[in-house]
Structure 1
């Protein structure tokens, strides 16, 4: 005999009641469907209000609601121990009764939150020995970073980076070593003068020999870059003029006077300046064959300068007239041509025997 349908008045808000009951019991749709003796999809359509429940299902849900309400009430009111089940729980599946019993069990204590480790302080990179040497040298010289940068031919930011631990290029390392040697020599000379003028008495003990200064760490770059000299007033000098083949045999600026086939009078401020007669088309259209380049051996090249560089013997010892720049944070030297037919050449400092900036060029208009 079929069951009579549930009246519409009782079904008002039933989908929400069904969903609330399942959430209150903390069970899934398949579990509730198993208790009600229906399929999982049947519970889904009930909660969405797409179908009215049958009378047995409706009655069983009402019984579950009543039992759940009693269990929740027991959580707040002390109840005498009893082994008998309340009448509202009669006829419920055992699994449903176990779920209702869980309502009065104390909630498990939440797991303690993992201790938050204090934020680690950033690791501060220790300054290398060379950075400390540069800072000590600047203090001994009594100059600021811009002044030291001017002596080195670099920017103030470059000096700051070196003192903060950045790597320096080989020419700058060589300049720093020469400045350190100058400071040591000045200090030794001052000590010698003070000792010489010190009054000698019978009670005084003979001066002890000064301890030899600790040898600096040896650096042997492929080419030598001298320290920037003090500014010299320009003067007219008779410069030795070298050809490119003669420049290939040039080991130092001092040899230019002996290798010159001609001389040229010009106003210069570098005491070791010499001239070289250019050849080739690598710097066309701005520079031509026969043009004279005035080289300053005691100056540092900067990005954009015209330079003359002699390559190491391992690369054939060629002499190049190019535009100077650097790459790889100053660890590589790039020699570029003005003529697009010649690609840039990237070299390491070890592959260059010497490199001198060109202060000016002179073009001979008439033979």
Structure 2
């Protein structure tokens, strides 16, 4: 029996880790019945398969295009007793879901279709996307991020109200073809999120049997408040990596090596909690969620040690002493943060 699994993210749920690990271990996975196509030499995700992605970066473009490649994969594997696993978080973008029905039509020859969507609490999702945005341009202030997410259910074209995302998916896929998975549960699975996916896909392998890539954690985001501080300093330009490294180093020195920051103020966090806890309760009652017992826990600040309003004048003074000139040290440019040293903590 043939099956195709479409892993659509969402963004910032260890998608790159899954893609890197599956790409590097594609031959081993194939021996166990899971096909992870290596479509491009240096791109481990299948972003080029997203239909009609406007302004698709050239590095993602496939020689046979999106539909041509999808049809070729279908022709090759739809009559084989294998599972074809396709992964791109870009499939979950609002602008890309408009062609979900066409995507479903191309994949129809498979005996079984499954769409997997991993979700995390919205406050974590928003701050992670904020950090990702800040890598290439100056992001909006966090208060505006909160306002946009609540008023439009979107941030950067990504659904923050997951009920709306599910509505879009149901326009093309049957409810029984859609699987929701909680990010926190997946990452605490034996073997982490890779282990969780191997188990869900029925692959007779454990994560520790795979070749490890990037120490098992790809595209790890910097600390949210380090990106915020660097962005404030760099406005109206975006903050370069060396500056983010400095702000992160200063955070650890000022607040301790184990600092766990939150991008938002307590008031913003509470506003997000009030709004999205309610929408997540609605999602938990949906048949798609109830089929697998999916539910997101209510927002909790447990573990957070530093909210945005807690950043003190002393921290900014420390940053001023560091100076804001680009470093000569190549390791600092590439993201290796030096140890905090004897001044660690206050």
TM-score past 0.5 threshold:
no
Tell which has more relative contact order, 1 or 2 (C-alpha 8 A, sep 6+).
Answer: 2
As a proportion of its length, which structure holds more helix?
Answer: 2
Higher strand share: 1
The structure that has the greater radius of gyration is: 1
Shorter-chain TM-score range = under 0.3
When normalised by structure 1's length, the TM-score is 0.19
